[in-house]
Amino acid sequence: MRAQLFITLFLLAFGCSGSGKFDHAQIKEMRDELSRVSCSNGRRMNETLDLFGSKGLAVEISEYQEVSNVVAEISGKTQETLIVGAHYDKTDAGCGVIDNWTGVVMLSHLAKELRNRNTEKSYTFVAFGGEERDLQGSKAMAEAIANGAREKPCAMINLDSFGFEKTWALRSISDPSMLDLAADVERGRGGSFSIRNYRGASSDSKSFRRIGVPSITFSGLGDDWRDYIHGEEDVISNIDFDAVAENYDFLREFVLHLDTVPCRSLVGGESD
């Protein structure tokens, strides 16, 4: 009886995703990692390095004139490369747990999982600095690609702020080919995928769309997102870990699906 009660309470605490594939222990680990992040913007890069290091990832710092990105490379069977990113910086107000330590934590877990798989594509996992300062980190990386200093990737997947609702994508900074793939993945899970537009909302996929890389930004915020980010309400107590489980489960499935998609079938374009 006690064992049954414990299982019931555990499920209530950490929820279950639409497809039921997530790992309860992994969601608990994410919760612990979210609870430990500081409210100091100046410490975020080192905390990102520590987080990636705890997953056994080989990490380097890409330094640009005004910003630094944290990068982990994973080799696959081919040289076709996917960039998966999330920004580690925050605004001055609030702790930035939602925006965007949720994205950074999920990024680190995806990197750990894919490192242990025999993937078709290679991966660049990057935690961007300076997103809150006009997308500085992603702009610097995109410019390096455009100038030939880095190889052009097959596509870019951006993670920005989770833990409220089912995963959705921001239309204005996502390519139609990537939105179609997201809808396909969600149909396979038995649901329908939400594509939204919010006036003034932007994120790091915009930098890569500008250079013609097929890109998408995923989020798990609600329509009341302005009440929770860029302010004092950006704290862990406002995160729904039932939603975190769904968000991560979807992102994992999307990345694994994209791993099988030929780069030539994806079409990118400049953002409007």
Q: What is the pLDDT of residue 270?
A: 74
User: Residue 87: is its pLDDT beyond 50?
Assistant: yes
Q: Flag whether 34 is in a domain.
A: no
Residue with the bigger pLDDT between 15 and 61: it is: 61
Q: Residue 22: which pLDDT band, with cuts at 50, 70 and 90?
A: low
Name, in order, each residue with C-beta under 8 angstroms of 75's C-beta and a sequence gap of 6 or more: 122
Q: What is the mean pLDDT of residues 203-225?
A: 97
Q: Is the dihedral of CA 185, 188, 190, 192 positive or negative?
A: positive
Q: What is the mean pLDDT of the chain?
A: 91
Q: Flag whether 148 is in a domain.
A: yes
Q: What is the pLDDT of residue 203?
A: 98
Q: Flag whether 91 is in a domain.
A: yes
User: Residue 62: is its pLDDT beyond 90?
Assistant: yes
Task: Quote the domain boundaries for residue 161.
Answer: 43-263
Q: Residue 111: which pLDDT band, with cuts at 50, 70 and 90?
A: very high
Residue with the bigger pLDDT between 66 and 203: it is: 203
Q: Flag whether 20 is in a domain.
A: no
Q: Flag whether 101 is in a domain.
A: yes
Q: What is the pLDDT of residue 267?
A: 85
Domains contained in the chain, number:
1
Contact 164, 229 (CB under 8 A): no
Check which CATH number belongs to the domain holding 78 and give it: 3.40.630.10
DSSP one-letter string for 93-143: SS--IIIIIHHHHHHHHHHHHHHTS--SSEEEEEEES-TTTTSHHHHHHHH
Q: Flag whether 3 is in a domain.
A: no
Residue with the bigger pLDDT between 15 and 79: it is: 79
User: Residue 1: is its pLDDT beyond 90?
Assistant: no
Q: Flag whether 216 is in a domain.
A: yes
Q: Flag whether 147 is in a domain.
A: yes
Please tell me whether the overall predicted TM-score, pTM, comes out greater than 0.75 for this model.
yes
Q: What is the mean pLDDT of residues 90-108?
A: 96
